[in-house]
Amino acid sequence: MNETDQTDFEAALTAALDRCLAAGVTVDFWWRDDDAVEPTPELDRLLHFATLHDAPLLLAVIPEPAIPALFSQLADIGQITISQHGFAHINHEVPPAKAAELGPARPVETVLTELSAGKTKLRHYAGEQFAPILTPPWNRISPDLAERRFEIGLAGLSAFGPANADRFQVNTQLDIIAWRAGRGFIGWGKAKTIVEEELAHRIAAPGEPFGLLTHHLVHDREVWVFLECFLRIARTHKAARWPEIRNLFSLS
């Protein structure tokens, strides 16, 4: 890790938030982590960060393989909201189509039946910590399924990318894993560029939340360092606001 890169990022994030404050813009920050199925040392560390920084966290749980011990671990931790991460996180698309569990390869009714079963399991084990938010594996969902998710009571939706017209959909914009380049940290320079661009956009067009996306099971040392750095600054700056997750998705 290059300490100069980290210092540059910290300065850039602080300066970008200072510009928001000077423009009279408060940015709604939020944090989503994907692929939880069981207690692990990585999940312990993630939850420690959330508690240390008092940061609301949307934890996307894969229903089919999730075990009861996971929900027991989460039960007494504040600021944790559980969402539904598909059903089994299995790719059903055929190359060259991109990987997706909730894509167009299968009939919508088949997928809705799976998702309904997954929702029932999560609600049973997670209780009040569960929120009716669907987080598609690989951040991909067919338009037909996105429209019909309401039929099974999954009003909320979270993927990756800019906002759209769906008032119940809140996306993430900063994925700190380099999936196509070794699955390590994207780098301080790239993170700096994304943060500066996204916060500049929110000054020009206020209102869109800024979402951080993590995947605790694949974090290397540098990703953990970045996460602590990001939360330390974004959780304390006057231009940053961290709404309750259900309010963010217009579910309250």
Number of domains making up the chain:
1
For residue 1, is pLDDT > 80? no
* pLDDT level of residue 252 (50, 70, 90 thresholds): confident
Burial class (CB in 10 A: 0-12, 13-18, 19+), 66: buried
Q: Which of 133, 113, 110, 137 has its CA nearest to residue 123?
A: 133
Q: Does any domain span residue 249?
A: no
**Residue 217 belongs to domain spanning:** 3-239
90 vs 72: CA distance, rounded Å = 25
84 vs 63: CA distance, rounded Å = 7
Find the angle CA(205)-CA(210)-CA(212) to the nearest 5 degrees: 160
Tens of pLDDT, residue by residue over 159-182, are 999 988 899 999 999 999 999 989
45: CATH: 3.20.20.370
Burial class (CB in 10 A: 0-12, 13-18, 19+), 56: buried
| Backbone phi and psi for residue 165, each to the nearest 5 degrees, phi listed first | -80, -10
Contacts (Cβ under 8 Å, ≥6 apart) of 3: none
Residue % of the chain over a pLDDT of 70: 99
Q: Which two tokens stand for residue 235?
A: 């959780």
Q: Does any domain span residue 131?
A: yes
The model carries a pTM of: 0.96
Q: Does any domain span residue 83?
A: yes
